[in-house]
Amino acid sequence: MVASKLLVDCSNSSTPIKPSSLLNSLFNHRHPTPTATLFHSRTFHPPSRTSNTIRASALNRRDFIADSAAAAVALSLAPVVGFDATSAVAKADSLSEWERVFLPIDPGVVLLDIAFVPDDPSHGFLLGTRQTLLETKDGGNTWVSRSISSAEDEDFNYRFNAISFKGKEGWIVGKPAILLHTSDSGDSWERIPLSAELPGDMVYIKATGEKSAEMVTDEGAIYVTANRGYNWKAAVQETVSATLNRTVSSGISGASYYTGTFNTVNRSPEGNYVAVSSRGNFYLTWEPGQPYWQPHNRAVARRIQSMGWRADGGLWLLVRGGGLYLSKGTGITEEFEEIPVQSRGFGILDVGYKSKEEAWAAGGSGVLLKTTNSGKSWSRDKAADNIAANLYSVKFINDRQGFVLGNDGVLLKYLG
């Protein structure tokens, strides 16, 4: 059961805290210093135009002849049929709406989340595995690595899972359990102590107001704070495992195989959640005010890969092995219809909405798909065809600013 009492009460340090098997080594001995300032920056310089020019001038004789012949044909057509060679080249260069941004990180780093300061859209942070924290102040064109001293004091290589900003206040959660807070747009971060009784790993956090946030663990615990994270109160009365133990006889297919953790979890702007079970055989929803998560049978034959919210308030659903479904109507439902997509046989891993009409889907082996009619049809963008990486997170900060995150440190920036 998730206790409805306060999760953390730093003012009563004499109260014994029962250590869990997962977080035992984190907070038994000492609390870190309350405030830590970012330090250690390393600027990354992308390949210069000069180096690109040198490589271009090194074309072999055959390439040069072929390019010259193509140009001659284009120019010869211009006076005959009104062919504009310059326009054709410009159109060829602008086919893709994304470009890759190279990052100052080691190979193998998996990027997990990105967020920008609302008051300054050019200032943002990028998170990932191996304690990766990057900062940009030019809208995501260039990034510098940052480190947090309080996170380096422990003998852990943290995986930063999620970040969120509201005004100048920001939050970061990671694994092993770590919670960071800033009130100055990320110039400095303080580490907030956590209870060892926290059920599950923190996988999501949402800044909801001044000194307020909402946090979710992979076991379905939802906590809210209104005092900068020093006290947390449970928003649900029990974990998902406890809920399923009560409702497994009510007809939820596959609940007996539930391992107790989420595969993915997504939050709507209204505060509603949709989560996929670790095996993908059913999904769960939660709305503010409900005491428990509500399990739902999947309406498709294949197991669910991920689910999320459309810009119009409906749901999208991805199945393993490839396949995209959209819910009928808006709100929470179990009725979905399949939408044909050309994913080249690779699975689709995430969908991100720029507007009600335009959305992007990303997947394995650099798959990028676009819709401009609310998902009725999709076309492929070849921007990442030559990038050997899986793309699994699409984030639109606003209607002009978007990013796609992938493994091996792959980051794509939306050009529009």
The pLDDT score that the predictor gives to residue 56 is: 37
Instruction: Kindly report, residue by residue over 259-316, the tens digit of the pLDDT.
Output: 678 999 999 999 999 999 999 999 999 999 999 999 998 888 899 999 999 999 999 9
Residue 407 pLDDT > 50: yes
The pLDDT score that the predictor gives to residue 154 is: 66
Residue 77 pLDDT > 50: no
State the greatest distance between any 2 C-alpha atoms of the chain, in Å, as a whole number.
88
Higher pLDDT, 315 or 49: 315
pLDDT band at 387 (very low <50, low <70, confident <90, very high): confident
The pLDDT score that the predictor gives to residue 248 is: 60
Residue 345 pLDDT > 90: no
**Tokens representing 316?**
């999208």
- For range 141-169, the mean pLDDT: 89
358 φ/ψ angles, rounded to the nearest 5 degrees: -105, 135
CA atoms within 13 A on the CB side of 233: 5
164: number of Cβ within 10 Å: 20
Question: Given 3-state DSSP classes, what are the helix, strand and coil percentages for the chain, each rounded to the nearest 5?
Answer: 15, 35, 50
Higher pLDDT, 258 or 188: 188
Higher pLDDT, 9 or 387: 387
Q: What's the pTM?
A: 0.76
pLDDT band at 335 (very low <50, low <70, confident <90, very high): very high
**Tokens representing 46?**
């992308």
* Closest by Cα among 329, 327, 323 to 315: 327
